[in-house]
Amino acid sequence: MKIIMLGAPGAGKGTQAKLIAERYQIPHVSTGDIFRANIKNGTELGREAKKYMDQGLLVPDELTVKILLDRVAQEDCRNGYVLDGFPRTIPQAQVLDEALAKLNEKIDHVIDVDVPDENIVRRMSGRRACPKCGATYHIEHIPPKKEGICDGCGSELVLRDDDREETVLNRLKVYHEQTQPLIDFYAKKGVLNTVDGTMDMQDVFKAVTDILG
C-alpha cells in the first residue's frame, strides 16, 4: 500500500505516519526527517538543506526529488510506504507519478490532515522532539511520561530549529502557496481523503484506518 500524507506544517502528518507505519508494517518516509538526519551528520546535503529549512522555505525540487526516489527504490519499500512531507509541490508530484508509472504502480491513498492555521502555531510551539530516535511529543496534548525526556530512549527532548514563531508563519505561507494545490491535484485523480486533524491523535488515527481499511 502506497500512501501520501498531506497537510500544513504541524497538522500531524508525522504523528499519523508513524502510527500507520506500525499498523501496516510499511516504512515511514519523511523528507524532513531525512534532511534533519543529514544536518545532524554534517553532510553536504544537510548543509544545503539547512539554508532553506531555517527560513521556512522549501528545499529545491531537484535535491528533494532525487533523495525521495532513491529512498523508495530501496528493498524495504517494495510492499509500499507512507510518504510524509513529500510531495510538496506540483512538480514533485508529477515526478513521483512518472516514476511510479514506469513501474506500473500508483499511489493508493492520499490523506489530507486538515487543521486550520489558528491551531498550527500553538501546536508547533508545544512540540518537542527526540534528537536520537525521532519520537515527537507535545507538552500539552501528547506529553512524555517524564517532562523533557523521551519515553522511548531516555534522551533529552528539544525544540526543532524551524519551530520558532516567525519561521512557522513563513512555513504556513509557503504551504498555502506551493503545497495546498496538491489537494486538488489528487482530488482529480480520485485518491484524496480528508480527515479532521483537530481531533485527538487516536481519533484522527481511527479516521485514517477507516479509510485505509
- Give the catalytic positions in this structure: 13, 88, 127, 160, 171
If one asks whether residue 59 binds ligand AP5 (CB under 6 A), the answer comes out as yes
Instruction: Map residues 162-181 to x or -, x wherever contact with ligand AP5 holds by CB under 6 A.
Output: x--------x----------
If one asks whether residue 56 binds Mg ion (CB under 5 A), the answer comes out as no
Nearest distance from C-beta of residue 66 to ligand AP5, angstroms:
11
Comparing CA positions, the residue from 140, 132, 120 lying closest to residue 158 is 132
Q: How far is CA 23 from the centre of its chain?
A: 17
If one asks whether residue 109 binds ligand AP5 (CB under 6 A), the answer comes out as no
Q: Which is nearer to Mg ion, 53 or 107 (CB)?
A: 53
Please select the residue that binds Zn ion; options are 26, 150, 172, 195, rule is CB under 5 A. Answer: 150
Q: How far is CA 143 from the centre of its chain?
A: 20
If one asks whether residue 11 binds ligand AP5 (CB under 6 A), the answer comes out as yes
Q: Which is nearer to Mg ion, 44 or 176 (CB)?
A: 176
If one asks whether residue 35 binds ligand AP5 (CB under 6 A), the answer comes out as yes
Sheet with strand 2-7: strands edge to edge: 28-30, 81-84, 2-7, 109-114, 192-196
If one asks whether residue 148 binds Zn ion (CB under 5 A), the answer comes out as no
Question: C-alpha angle 209/123/142, rounded to 5°?
Answer: 60
Segment (H or E) for 109: strand 109-114
How far, in Å, CA of 136 to CA of 157, rounded?
9
Q: Which is nearer to Mg ion, 14 or 197 (CB)?
A: 14
